[in-house]
Amino acid sequence: MNIIGNINERLSFDMEDVAYGGGQAIQQVLDKSPVQLPDDYIGFLKSISGAGTNGIEFEVKNEGTVSIWIWDAEMALEQYRGYKEYSHPVYEHIIDKIWLIGNDLGDLVFFYGEGNGGFGLYRAEAGSLGFAADKIADTLTDFLVNGVGIDTAITL
């Protein structure tokens, strides 16, 4: 399923942020990720990882200025390297078990990993990554198309 063409009605985005490409960076994501990344996420990356973008920002309608930013492949790699290089023991423990995919332009980060709800898409506060995470949805399609977990993603 083409996620971009079927975004949930609660979300809005700028079509100018859609940029197909990024094949080499997406391959690096696949090579670096410590977890098996779902096909729908990889397909989504192909639609947002072209030149001139850092990903796509979704605004949640009727929620003020609440945003969900899903990073392109280059930004995801940059964030991964940043957390890997950060010397805090908490991040060393968790970063090899998850793949960061975005944030809310604030304190929350979104990632794929294994948690209390099984494998899926989770959110946690950036400062407590590894301590407490809430499952958003099983897949990116469930989240962005079916609207599963939107409320979880935007609240603490």
**Pair of tokens at residue 123:** 């959110």
Architecture of domain 9-144: 3-Layer(aba) Sandwich (3.40)
Note the pLDDT tens digit of each residue in 47-66: 999 988 899 999 999 877 78
pLDDT score recorded for residue 115? 85
**Pair of tokens at residue 148:** 């599963």
Find tokens 């899926």 and name the residue.
120
Residues 6+ apart with CB under 8 A from 151: none
- The neighbour count for residue 120, using CB atoms within 10 Å, is 21
Q: Dihedral of CA 6/10/16/19: which sign?
A: negative
Mean pLDDT (whole number) for 125-147:
88
Instruction: Quickly state the pLDDT bin for 97 (edges 50, 70, 90).
Output: confident
Note the pLDDT tens digit of each residue in 25-38: 999 999 999 999 99
Residue 87, pLDDT > 60, answer: no
